[in-house]
Structure 1
Amino acid sequence: MSEARPALLSGVRIIDMTSVVFGPLATQMLGDLGADVIKVESPEGDMLRQVQPAQSTGMGAAFLGVNRNKRSVVLDLKTDDGRRSLRRLLRDADVCISSIRPAALARLSLAPDALRRENPRLITVAAVGFGSDGPYRDKPAYDDSVQAVSGMAGLATMRDPGARPSYAPTILADKLGGVTAAWAVMAALYHRERTGEGQHVEVPMFETLASFLLVEHMAAATFENLPQSFGYSRMLVPHRRPLQTKDGYITILPYSNAQWARFFRAIGREDMLSHQWVTSMDERSRNIGAIYDMVGQFAPSRTTQEWVDLMEEADIPVMPVRVLPDLPQDPHIEATGFFQRVAHPSEGTIWTTKPPVKFSATPARHDLRPAPCLGEHTEEILSGAVED
């Protein structure tokens, strides 16, 4: 039997000075790939520890969800001893990622340039709300405020001018920022592997979410002298919504000309096969709301399962609408082992999810280390730090 290969990021040490979700999600993803992530916490700990629900004080479910595969060290960076200990940790670290505001880091003599003077190979990462070259750079940033200013909350009003702005019911800006920060770290590590050079990386939530939204919503503004005509119409028509069936809701999504033809043939509407909405994508795009509305009128004639069977037979994308409590019983989720139970030393047996990306040679792991208790590894980590 061949020996197990080292994890993808085995030997990479990351000093994680982030809190809540943005930075911690990024470092958890890197920890799943084998990096040694050292979570630096204040004596009070990451504030996410206190967010309910929780079984034990300081071990909230949300904290458990973004802090596996890390070790926790408590350092009071307001003290000389705390800052000295951190500098010792950084001397042989590969990455330092921080969500502390840049001005505060500078006051603590922990600015990226100063850290790289002591360790030129160090990659420093600023997980910030707003880019440092804009007037919002010193503003505090939370998921709701970034959803508001990025245009995310206002998408509802672009679909329906009478609607009120609304937040996506998930911490989208934080999580997208975390995913972006993780790939940015990987890119910087690859650059250093080729050149030996460390560098500073800035990942702003605002610009990241705005860029993400504008992939399709740049739309006609792409071609204007003064960009104004934003909004991808297919995403914004009010008819784009789950369809109500006899007993629930479903998503039916013919897209190509051939799929629309098969859809109308399957429901016995051959009269639509020569219609421009079916034969011309351009005409269909101009009238997408009307054709979606037509499908919505047909939907109540069958049950959800009857629609699934009919559409699968016609090879048309279809999925039932589910809520989160349905996921553990989803047959695909069950077959992939997506939900996993792991033993936690303070919380007992808890549920978690496997990393979704599969590597054939260097698989990601969800079970290397459970999320740490506050300061659980302080002595272990500081005793191994490089001395002055």
Structure 2
Amino acid sequence: MLPLLDGIRVIEVGAVVLGPYASQLLADLGADVIKVEPLEGDIARQAFPHGEGGGALFVNNNRNKRMLAIDLKAPEGRAAFAALLKTADVLFHNMRIDAADRLGLGFETAAAINPRIIHCAAVGFGQRGPYRDRPAFDDIIQAAAGIAGLGIAAGGEPRFVLTILADKIAALHAVYGILAALVARANGREGAIKVEVPMFEALTAFLLNEHLAAATFDREGAVGYPRILSPNRRPFRSADGWIAVLPYTDRQWRAFLAEIGREDVAEEDWFKDARQRAARIDTLYALVAESLAARTTADWIAALSARDVPCSEVKTLEGLLTDPHLSQLGFFDVPETWPEGVVRSLPQAVLFDGFEPRPDTPPRGLGEDSRAILRETGMPESDIDALIATGVVKSAPD
């Protein structure tokens, strides 16, 4: 944890990945993140696989936070939440707008309670468009935003990217949206600030950054970046496994061709012209594929690295756990304060020089900080006891 956002309080009403991942990044930067959960808890707490610290998905997205478990459907719960909201800088949720409004989390309600609040809502689809009321999950957004359809463009079948891509990209958009709003407020912007992060639009812009291609200049122009959509741009078989090789510049292509003894290709007229070479990229990729099967992955890595040609072995998920670079960095090290059941953790990846890090805190139990958080709002102890006794708030024992 780093002290860059000291003094900033963020209330997260999030679940599973999008909301928790975004607010964890803010917590990693020093924000006081209060995670507000329903009495049954974030469903990721129970997601398989499960250890002493909870579900792995929960453990990997909820460090450095404090936990309040409260029933926002109850009038007493909403009143207690309103008292907490008055102390916050940011309110962030990733639920559908109508559900948020029913729970008192909508922008108008929040701004009336705290006129300086930064209100960030991560939604499936932008609220000014006809899809605004559609339910959205990661697979749905991957399909809607064209990610799954990339396989069709490359001559195959549609397929989802095998990671929770839409949630995590939207989470990163939410983080920069919140940080930008905090800067605007620091620069004198008055009043509440409304930030909307639509998953569909965020992922579409992410995808079309390069794939808008000729349609950038011509309304009838073809979309799709040919170099990326080439079926031959893929991991290649070596003699003993898989390897990724990507010569890109003229120098890199010449170096690769020299390594495989095909300097003659570099003397072709079409190769010397960058546009013609791009048009015949499949020919070059096919040459790469044919060559790599003759030697082992380790041999190729050594030879191509010596020539400064971009290359990498194709790591499996298991291979990442023993990667020598990550191991030297202590990438998966677990802080001493974490529960025994956690044997690997994931770090904040962005480095800031000149800031003294503080120890990360593990994900907390459901309602573990409820009483302490409500005390900070100025609520009398007797009122807190009543909320706990009536089941509106869940709290761990003091």
Aligning the two structures, in what range does the TM-score lie when normalised by the shorter sequence? Answer: over 0.9
CA displacement at 1:156 relative to structure 2: 0.4
Q: CA RMSD in A?
A: 1.8
Residue 298, structure 1, aligned to residue 291, structure 2: yes
CA distance in 1, matches of 2:356, 2:275: 44
1:52 aligns with 2:48: yes
Partner of 1:12: 8
1:63 aligned to which of 51, 58, 65: 58
Deviation at 1:273, TM superposition (A): 2.1
Partner Cα distance (1:110, 1:181) in 2: 17
Residue 374 of structure 2 corresponds to: 382
The one of 110, 121, 124 equivalent to 2:119 is: 124
Which residue of 2 is the match for residue 330 of structure 1? 323
- Residue 281 (1) aligns with residue 277 (2): no
- From 5, 8, 21, the equivalent of 1:25 is 21
Deviation at 1:181, TM superposition (A): 0.7
Mapped to 2, the partners of 1:350 and 1:23 lie a distance apart of 24
CA contact (8 A) 2:51 2:342 kept: no
Native 8 Å contact 1:92 1:386 kept in 2: no
Range 114-123 or range 203-212, more displaced: 114-123
CA distance, structure 2, for counterparts of residue 109 and residue 264 of structure 1 = 64
Q: Hey, what's the Cα distance between the residues in 1 that align with 2:357 and 2:317?
A: 24
Q: Deviations over 1:49-69 (max 9, x none)?
A: 12100024x810011010111
User: What do the CA deviations read for 1:178-216 (whole angstroms, capped 9, x no partner)?
Assistant: 111111111111111001433010001111000000000
Q: Distance in 2 between matches of 1:237 and 1:349?
A: 42
Rounded Cα–Cα distance in structure 1 between residues aligned with 2:297 and 2:314: 9
Q: Which runs of 5+ in 2 are unaligned?
A: 381-398
Q: What is the distance in 2 between the residues matched to 1:314 and 1:104?
A: 57
Q: Which deviates the most, 308-317 or 106-115? A: 106-115
Is 2:332–2:346's contact at 8 Å kept on the other side of the alignment? yes
Instruction: Give the counterpart of 1:141 among 112, 115, 136.
Output: 136
Indicate if the aligned counterparts of 2:65 and 2:363 stay in contact, CA closer than 8 A.
yes
Asked whether the equivalents of residues 342 and 349 of structure 1 are also in contact (C-alpha less than 8 Å), the reply is no
What letter matches 1:382 in structure 2? Answer: L
Q: How does 1:232-311 map to 2 (within 5 A)?
A: 232-311=225-304
Structure 1 pair 343/222, CA: closer, same or farther in 2 (3 Å)?
A: same
Q: Decide whether the 8 Å contact of 1:33 with 1:363 is kept in 2.
A: no
Instruction: State the 1:90 CA deviation.
Output: 0.6
Identity of aligned residues (%): 42
Could you tell me which residue of structure 1 aligns to residue 194 of structure 2? 200
Between the aligned partners of 1:214 and 1:194, the Cα distance in structure 2 is 33
SS at 2:77's partner residue? helix
Residues in 2 aligned to 1:379 and 1:82: alpha-carbon distance in whole angstroms: 13
Cα distance between partner residues in 1 of 2:257 and 2:329: 34
In 1, Cα distance between equivalents of 2:2 and 2:218: 51
Query: Shift of the alpha carbon at 1:110?
Result: 3.4
Alpha-carbon deviation of 1:100?
Answer: 2.6
Cα distance, 1:109 vs structure 2:
3.8
Q: Partners of 1:142 and 1:347 in 2: how far apart?
A: 33
Does the C-alpha gap of structure 1 residues 49 and 322 become closer, same or farther in structure 2, counting only changes over 3 Å?
same
Q: Tell whether the 8 Å contact from 1:41 to 1:74 is kept in structure 2 after alignment.
A: yes
Contact 2:2 2:28 in 1 (8 A): no
Letter in 1 for 2:296: T
Is 1:312 aligned with 2:286? no
Shift of the 386–128 alpha-carbon distance from structure 1 to 2, 3 Å rule, reads farther
Q: Residue 216 of structure 1 corresponds to which residue in structure 2?
A: 210
TM-score between the two structures when normalised by the length of structure 2: 0.91
Secondary structure at the aligned position of 1:342 is classed as coil
Counterpart contact for 2:2–2:357, Cα < 8 Å:
no
Corresponding position: 1:101 with 2:96: yes
Q: Which residue of 1 aligns with 2:351?
A: 358
For 1:35 and 1:214, how far apart are their aligned partners in 2? 33
Q: Tell me the amino acid that sits aligned with residue 225 of structure 1.
A: R
How far 1:351 moved relative to its partner? 1.1
Q: Secondary structure of the equivalent of 1:351?
A: coil
User: Is 1:277–1:291's contact at 8 Å kept on the other side of the alignment?
Assistant: no
Q: Where does residue 386 of structure 2 map in the other structure? A: none
Q: Which moved more, 1:315-324 or 1:337-346?
A: 337-346
* Dislocated runs of 4+, deviation >4 Å: 343-347
Once the two structures are superposed, residues 211-232 of structure 1 have per-residue CA deviations (whole angstroms, 9 ceiling, x without a partner) of 0000000011111235x51110
Which of 66, 72, 85 aligns to 2:80? It is: 85
Deviates more, 1:344-353 or 1:241-250: 344-353
Q: Which moved more, 1:111-120 or 1:216-225?
A: 111-120
Give me the TM-score of the superposition, normalised by structure 1: 0.93
Whether the aligned pair in 2 keeps the contact of 1:343 and 1:350 (CA below 8 Å) is: no
In structure 1, C-alpha distance between the alignment counterparts of 2:70 and 2:4, rounded to whole Å:
29
Task: Give yes or no for contact 2:2–2:29 (8 Å, CA) kept in 1.
Answer: no
